[in-house]
Amino acid sequence: MRRPKSYPIYPNHLRNAKDLRHAQALDPLKPATPPVGVCTVRTIPRDFINSIEYRHPHDSMARFARALSLRYDAIRTRHAYFRQLFLVHGHFALDSAILTADQLRAYFLLVKLKIQWKPKSIRQALAATRNFFVDLLGHSDLRVGGQIRIKGHERSPAVLTRRQVNDLLVAILLSS
């Protein structure tokens, strides 16, 4: 049994969201507005249209939308994968099912080197194209996928020197 994903929400943000929903339930005609100085955090995902309901330019895109709906429960995931394949379709302006490995290689070089997508976006595009070509169309393997290596741009945390730590500790006033 799959456990639901838990998202860390600070208690005061959760309380503010509940208060807003409660205020809207009391007076549904009045739009719920947060009190002054209160920052609200979205606790529910944005509303995305199911990719099956899009107007598809080609039959292969409609089949891909149906396959995504069967495979993934989250509408956001289906939307993101469909969007990635739609970007590939829009770049070449032809049916994605007839693209060659060289065309896909050129596309990934473009988004990596010229457009300079972040590594997570490139990995998502690769996963969407692999899902389309291997899982849906039944190609034995996506040859381009094996060539792409994307290392994350992990940033090192800010580290203080010993002198800075000492100055910081001296500056802190301890209350008794």
List the domain boundaries for the chain. Answer: 8-44, 51-147
User: What pLDDT sits at residue 35?
Assistant: 54
**b/e map of 18-50 (b: 16 or more CB within 10 Å)?**
eebeebeeeeeeeebeeeeeeeeeeeeeeeeee
User: What pLDDT sits at residue 176?
Assistant: 43
Its pTM stands at 0.59
Q: Which fold has domain 51-147?
A: DNA polymerase; domain 1 (1.10.150)
Residue type for position 58:
H
Per residue in 120-140, pLDDT tens? Answer: 899 899 999 989 988 888 887
User: What pLDDT sits at residue 84?
Assistant: 93
| 4-18, 25-39, 47-61, 66-80: range with highest mean pLDDT | 66-80
H-state helical runs in the chain: 11-26, 59-71, 75-92, 101-109, 119-130, 143-147, 162-171
Q: Is residue 72 pLDDT above 70, yes or no?
A: yes
Question: Confidence band (pLDDT; 50, 70, 90) for 159?
Answer: confident
Mean of pLDDT values over 47-70: 85
Tokens standing for residue 90: 């829009």
